[in-house]
Structure 1
Amino acid sequence: MSGFVVKDWCPDAWRPMMAGDGLLVRVRPPLGRLTAPQVEGLGRAAIRHGNGQIDLTSRANLQIRGVSEEGWPALLTELQALGLVDPDPMREGRGVILINPDWREGEDSHAIATELRARLSELPDLPGKVGFVVDAGQAPMLFDAPGDFRIERAATGTLLVRADGRSAGVAISRATAVDALIRLAQWFVDSDGRDARRMARHKADLPDWASGDAMPAMPAPPMRPGAHPMGAVYGLPFGRLDAQALVDRRAPIRLTPWRMLLAEGVAPIPAAGMVLEDTPILHVDACVGAPACPQASVETRELAARLAPLIDGQLHISGCAKGCARARAADWVLTGREGAFDLARHARAGAAPLHTGLTPERAVALLGAC
């Protein structure tokens, strides 16, 4: 399937990416957390320099949308002043670290991720989409989240380092965790991993020191919208967040890779554009689609909202075959192609379809009858 371009890099604050509605400026808050002043400041900056729309990505990053080329330098300055962007572009580009959102200060996840951030300059030059996962809580909760080099809780209760795509890892300690991550990243580069671009696709045999039989612990129950011991979890349909909602929130927040955010120290009360119940709309992945994305040939989210209550299982609607909203297979996937949709089952975007050339109305009729 053609008509789209796969880029080997992800945007960040120093390297924004042009979309159909302006520049995308990606922000990677340290440890996936924003203080109350950072929440308000980022929201105001997104209104001032963007179109007021913010996306929460599958790597727990925020994307400010609709930024003009003229407004980007001022936005970058404000984000640095808030402590949300590293003043060193190289360090910012290497800071793709996903951490379990329920971390607490002083615990293993917090200590390891903090040390890794401090040692980013020791990492080799990695492909743009490669990232790290630090998931050292009582039980892994990021098992299905994207990441190439992983620290996890082992079934024995200790820690392990694991290369993505391998079922088992090697036991390590908190003190040696970051050394192991850096060493594994260096091996990836030295063994021509850049050609594969991602660890799960890199077929080279792991070195003996990285090959082991330490199995991850059983995953923790998935996070759900509603009350949480740390505050309240809000679901964001399609990961979309209105910047004014951040300005009004005035509370620290933690970002998750499931298009939910955790507001610290607040009661679970309704908030505009957010949901506190596990509703069907939260089980639909849909990219921004046309016209906001120049590579999409179809509108996606209006159709997704129509289909959400009709579908049993996970639905993915992608404006093109790239599948930006969901990398994994879904129960049902609609992929835009030349202004219509292809439908596939138990597949990723762009997979061989069961039906082609579907209009939105035909897709609703077909899936509503399944």
Structure 2
Amino acid sequence: MTTPPEIKGWCPGALRPMMSGDGLVVRIRPFGGRLRRAQVDGLATLAAAHGNGLIDLSSRGNIQIRGVREDSHPKLIDGLARMGLVDETPEIESRRNMLVTPFWLTGDSTERFTAELTAALSAEDAPRIPHKFGFAVDTGREPVLQTASADIRLERDAGGGFILLADGLPAGKPVTSDSMVSEALALAHWFVAHRGAHNRMAALLASGQRLPAGFFVPRQRQSYQPKPGFTPLGAMVGLAFGQLQVETLASLAKHGGLRMTPWRMLLVESARQLPEIEDLITDPDDPLLRIVACTGAPRCPQGFIETRPIARQLAPHLSDGQFLHVSGCAKGCAHPRPAPLTVTGTPDGLNLIENGHASDAPARENLTLQDLTKAI
């Protein structure tokens, strides 16, 4: 009988890192979803000095330094603190779980809401939300973060007004620019008071719990599809599986500040040409952009397979538009939602799941890589 994978129930931070197969994973939550050029360069230097040279971008717009030694962690935190990249306490850090649309302009409502929400979540009376509970500040003209993980969402309706959304429902509550953040905090307090054993908003609402009155304005449906290329604010570049070397990060620092995204992509501010740097994906048709693969073995102690070599071998066999999730175990950390195709590693081989999660019953099981190339 296979031992079920261990579910931690929390995400790593900088002040509270998580041990993995290659050392500590130190997750940095950039304030406002942005790193200034000096911070990018400093992060590359710190990651080279205290990590194993690998950096991950998470699906929540965070950046992770891998392979940090326990005796080196205090020096890493000291360096991050000097650059203004850590919170005062681990508790504040865990609450400041925010996604921000990368397409904000200096002085606009998104920048204001992000700053106000950051301050509110750092206050002593902030709601004691679960570790994986998060917010999305998606208040551009059109939403771009609806496919990303969040529990409370700040958006605009079709008429341009602001609405507050509880994840899992199609309608939001109309709010003003002055009440948006206070209403978001009130909704978070409501969740804490009613959540019971639930850690996520959508799960609570699916259980039958009803929201307070006022959530009736239809939300816009997202049409934005992220891809590498130019935007009015700079160049969007992709990273296979969201991972890069410290040398790549240091090279990016020469081109501009970075805005985080949940799509394993980075927006290089003010870049007028796509940086020609190894490891970057600039071709919007590259099939690696349509594959999500977790760290896998041996860097994850729960992984049964080396996920990314398998993903690279399967990439040329994907048909146009086909999406694939490769998971080292049944947890499916890298893509917790259903996927059209999922390959899950097991002690006996590879399972292929169609339109499901990594833990769902497979359509075919105990496959070889050669079997998979034919099956997809």
Task: Normalising by structure 2, report the TM-score.
Answer: 0.94
Report what 1:331 is aligned to.
Answer: 340
Are 1:49 and 1:75, in contact at CA under 8 Å, matched by a contact in 2? yes
Are 1:156 and 1:217, in contact at CA under 8 Å, matched by a contact in 2? no
1:53-64 matches, cutoff 5 A:
53-64=54-65
Give the % identical residues: 40
2:316 aligned to which of 293, 302, 309 = 309
Letter in 2 for 1:165: G
- 1:89: Cα distance to partner? 2.4
Are 1:254 and 1:261, in contact at CA under 8 Å, matched by a contact in 2? yes
Partners of 2:202 and 2:211 in 1: how far apart? 15
Report what 1:215 is aligned to.
Answer: 218
2:300 aligned to which of 288, 293, 298 = 293
Report what 1:165 is aligned to.
Answer: 168
Matched, 1:232 2:221: no
Structure 2 unaligned residues grouped into runs of 5+:
none
357-366 or 161-170, which deviates more: 357-366
Corresponding residue pairs, total: 365
Are 2:172 and 2:217, in contact at CA under 8 Å, matched by a contact in 1? yes
Are 1:162 and 1:168, in contact at CA under 8 Å, matched by a contact in 2? yes
Report what 1:23 is aligned to.
Answer: 24
Q: What do the CA deviations read for 1:41-86 (whole angstroms, capped 9, x no partner)?
A: 0011001000010000100000100001111111111111111111
Partners of 1:249 and 1:315 in 2: how far apart? 28
Residue 323 of structure 1 aligns to a residue whose secondary structure is coil
Partners of 1:14 and 1:204 in 2: how far apart? 36
Report what 2:328 is aligned to.
Answer: 319
1:103-114 matches, cutoff 5 A:
103-114=104-115
Instruction: Flag the 1:97–1:194 CA change in 2: closer, same or farther, 3 A.
Output: farther
Report what 1:129 is aligned to.
Answer: 132
Partners of 1:168 and 1:160 in 2: how far apart? 9
- Tell me the C-alpha RMSD between the 2 structures: 1.3
Are 1:44 and 1:244, in contact at CA under 8 Å, matched by a contact in 2? no
Matched, 1:205 2:212: no
Partners of 1:237 and 1:339 in 2: how far apart? 27
Letter in 1 for 2:280: M
Are 1:56 and 1:259, in contact at CA under 8 Å, matched by a contact in 2? yes
Matched, 1:188 2:160: no
Structure 1 unaligned residues grouped into runs of 5+:
none
Matched, 1:276 2:282: yes
Letter in 2 for 1:113: T
Task: Normalising by structure 1, report the TM-score.
Answer: 0.96
1:254 aligned to which of 241, 256, 259 = 259
Partners of 2:360 and 2:338 in 1: how far apart? 10
- 1:2: Cα distance to partner? 4.2
Report what 1:347 is aligned to.
Answer: 356
Partners of 1:77 and 1:350 in 2: how far apart? 40
- 1:359: Cα distance to partner? 2.0
Letter in 2 for 1:253: L
Q: What do the CA deviations read for 1:173-224 (whole angstroms, capped 9, x no partner)?
A: 1110111111111111111x15111101003533434x42211223242221
Report what 2:372 is aligned to.
Answer: 363
